[in-house]
Amino acid sequence: MKKITRLFFFAAMAAAVACNSEALEIDEGETMPDPGPETVPEATLSFSKTEIVIGGSMFDAGEATIKSNQMKFTAVSSETWLTAECEGKILRAIAAQPNDTGAERTAVITVTAGEGDNTATATIDVRQEIRDESSETTILTIADPNAELAAEADSRATVTFETNKTDVRVSVEEGAESWLQAEISGSEVVFTALSQNSTGAIRSAVATVSAGQDDKVLSVNVTVKQNTTAPEDLAVGALYEGGMIFDITDTYIKILSLQEASLAWSTENIEAGTESNPEEGLGNTAILQALTNFATAYPAAKFCTDLGEGWYMPSRKELIALYNNTAGTDAPGVELINSYLESYGGAPIQYESYYLSCCEYSQEKVWAIKVGANKNAYQSNKSTERFVRAVKKILR
């Protein structure tokens, strides 16, 4: 009897499955029901607090967390003494001016969440306390602590600073006052050349920018350089246009960078196509610069182009000219050329060492030239680190 009951049970289950299968079947060509227009949640916006409190000094800041179902936010301050910015879901209030009014002051930041037609707007109050200059930490930052002056008298250069102090001053190192003047103008330090630099070498001085008083003083050094005029008698070894002359013709002057590095030619073994320009490094360097991975895979050439406009990696013919005109017969010689370079603040040429050219030999190798007692051409592996210097060609 139990066996019969089990048979009836399994038969009933099979029938139920069959019925369900039939109910779910959809005839060919039949479409699913239209779900209707997509519903976009309405933008929401609130904050983790009702007020942001900041100190009375410039750059003092406070923040609140944004609560929203949106990911894009804009913030606007009601007062010029306060700036507002959003970073992710953090709203930051930053003092653009110190509070020297003698009383606390308030502002309102308006935040908008979302974009297009689906946005939400909310405001938050900001309160700035009274400034206590005697206890505040001095802030003084200079983005680029370097300034470069032209060779001519009255040439100028500026550096920009940020500080929470009003008593900013600048001084020039002893001995440089005869040719360099430094003054504070608003949020800039203005450097002026008092005389033309005809010394034949770049001259350099350190200027010190300071803010704050007593134990709150903070100082930052700025290096100021003044280029030199081209010598009336152009010659190999002379300083010219920020480099040392190594090749002169009736139509051009070629200069060598004062800096050098030890780098690999490339981190990959492919034919980049520079063999087609064996004599002119400028064209070869342009070929390398056009590669999508130039910045990461071609460190030697990138070192050259990073020196600025017009600088490039020399060809093997240009490196041979460097040897011929500095170390070869009737050339100034190793010791004299290196003394020139060092007097200009540069690095000496590593004679008896191989320097990379921009010219390929194969997928794996490039041409390197030894600058020494006897010049020699060598096929160097692209991945081997060797010395490299940049060249610039100036038309006469």
pLDDT at 230: 55
Q: Give the alpha-carbon dihedral of 332, 334, 336, 341, to 10 degrees.
A: 110
239-395, CATH topology level? Mannose-Binding Protein A; Chain A (3.10.100)
46-128, CATH topology level? Immunoglobulin-like (2.60.40)
Q: Which residue type is seen at 75? A: A
pLDDT at 313: 97
Does the domain at 140-226 match CATH 2.60.40.10? Answer given as yes
pLDDT at 273: 86
The C-alpha atoms of residue 124 and residue 241 are separated, in whole angstroms, by 56
Does residue 295 contact residue 305 with C-beta atoms inside 8 Å? no
Closest C-alpha to 44, from 124, 125, 121: 121
Q: Give the tokens for residue 303.
A: 């070192």
pLDDT at 99: 93
The helix/strand count (H/E) of the chain reads as: 6, 23
pLDDT at 21: 42
pLDDT at 326: 87
Q: What is residue 166's DSSP assignment? A: S
Residues of the chain with pLDDT under 50: 1-24, 26
Quick check: do 140-226 and 239-395 share a fold?
no
The C-alpha atoms of residue 186 and residue 145 are separated, in whole angstroms, by 17
Closest C-alpha to 357, from 370, 372, 346, 348: 370
Residues whose CB is less than 8 angstroms from the CB of residue 204 and which lie 6 or more positions away in sequence, other chains included: 223, 224, 225, 226, 345
The C-alpha atoms of residue 123 and residue 114 are separated, in whole angstroms, by 15
pLDDT at 2: 45
16 three-state secondary structure:
helix
pLDDT, one tens digit per residue, over 2-46 is 444 444 444 444 444 444 444 445 455 556 666 666 677 899 999
The C-alpha atoms of residue 325 and residue 342 are separated, in whole angstroms, by 18
The C-alpha atoms of residue 271 and residue 35 are separated, in whole angstroms, by 57
The C-alpha atoms of residue 31 and residue 158 are separated, in whole angstroms, by 72
pLDDT at 200: 62
pTM: 0.48
The C-alpha atoms of residue 83 and residue 87 are separated, in whole angstroms, by 13
pLDDT, one tens digit per residue, over 308-360 is 989 999 999 999 999 888 888 778 888 888 888 988 889 999 988 999 999 99
pLDDT at 34: 65
Domain boundaries, the chain: 46-128, 140-226, 239-395
pLDDT at 89: 96
